[in-house]
C-alpha cells in the first residue's frame, strides 16, 4: 500500500511541475508584488553587489534589484521543487535497489523530468526553454538527496545508539 501512495505522490508532484511550467510568464511574474512590498533602497541594501548574465539576460543588484530578487526566487523554487521530486523518487524506488543504484536512478529521473519540463516551456507564450535550468534542477536534486541521506543516516545512527525504553 505504501508503494502505491509513493507512486501517486510522484505523479502528483510531476503534474505540479508541468502545471507550473505551462503557465505563461505573466501569470508567475512576482515583480509587481515585490515593488509593492519592498522599497528599492531596501532591496539594494539586502542584495550583495552582483552583476551576471544568465540566459542572455543581465542581472544587476544596482541596476534592477527587483529583477534580481525575482530571478533568485525563481531559481530557489527550481532547487526546492526538484529536491522534493528526487526525495519522492528515491522513496518510490524503495528498498528494491541498493542505495547507490537508487541515487543514480533518481538523478537520471530528475534529468529526464527537467528536460521534458524545458521542452514543455517552449510552447508557452512568454516562456523560454533554457538548458541551464536543467543544471539548476539537477543541483536541486543533488541537494535534496544529500539532505535526505544525511537525515536518514543521522536518524538511523540515533536509533541504534539510543537504548530503547521498555
pLDDT digits (tens, 9 = 90+) for 128-165: 889 999 999 999 999 999 999 899 888 888 878 766 66
Is 166 a domain residue?
no
Is 89 a domain residue?
yes
pLDDT at 95: 65
* pLDDT of 166 over the 60 cut: no
The total of structural domains in the chain comes to 1
* pLDDT of 99 over the 80 cut: no
pLDDT at 139: 97
The dihedral formed by the CA atoms of 59, 112, 103 and 145, expressed in degrees to the nearest 10: 30
Is 18 a domain residue?
yes
pLDDT in tens, 25-81: 888 889 999 989 989 889 888 899 999 999 889 999 989 999 999 999 999 999 999
* Residue 35: strand, helix, or coil: helix
Is 25 a domain residue?
yes
Q: Where are the beta strands (DSSP E) in 5-95?
A: 51-54, 57-60
Enter the C-alpha cell of residue 94: 524503495
Is 124 a domain residue?
yes
* pLDDT of 98 over the 80 cut: no
**Burial state string for 54-65 with b = 16 or more CB within 10 A and e = fewer than 16:** eeeeebebeebb
Is 93 a domain residue?
yes
pLDDT in tens, 101-128: 788 888 899 999 999 999 999 999 888 8
pTM (two decimals): 0.85
Is 10 a domain residue?
yes
pLDDT at 156: 80
Residue 96's pLDDT band (cuts 50, 70, 90): low
Show the domain range for 134.
2-161
pLDDT at 102: 80
pLDDT at 106: 85
**For residues 165 and 86, which has the higher predicted lDDT (pLDDT)?**
86
Amino acid at each position: 500500500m505504501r508503494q502505491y501512495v509513493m507512486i501517486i505522490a510522484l505523479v502528483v508532484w510531476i503534474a505540479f511541475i508541468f502545471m507550473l511550467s505551462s503557465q505563461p510568464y505573466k501569470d508567475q511574474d512576482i515583480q509587481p508584488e515585490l515593488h509593492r512590498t519592498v522599497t528599492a533602497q531596501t532591496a539594494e541594501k539586502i542584495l550583495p553587489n552582483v552583476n551576471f548574465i544568465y540566459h542572455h539576460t543581465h542581472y544587476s543588484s544596482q541596476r534592477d534589484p527587483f529583477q534580481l530578487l525575482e530571478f533568485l526566487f525563481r531559481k530557489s523554487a527550481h532547487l526546492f521543487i526538484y529536491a522534493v521530486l528526487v526525495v519522492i523518487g528515491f522513496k518510490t524506488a524503495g528498498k528494491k535497489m541498493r542505495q547507490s543504484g537508487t541515487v543514480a536512478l533518481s538523478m537520471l529521473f530528475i534529468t529526464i523530468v527537467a528536460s521534458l519540463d524545458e521542452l514543455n516551456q517552449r510552447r508557452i507564450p512568454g516562456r523560454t526553454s533554457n538548458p541551464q535550468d536543467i543544471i539548476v534542477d539537477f543541483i536541486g536534486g543533488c541537494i535534496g538527496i544529500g539532505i535526505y541521506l544525511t537525515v536518514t543516516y543521522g536518524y538511523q545512527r540515533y536509533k541504534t545508539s539510543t537504548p530503547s525504553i521498555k
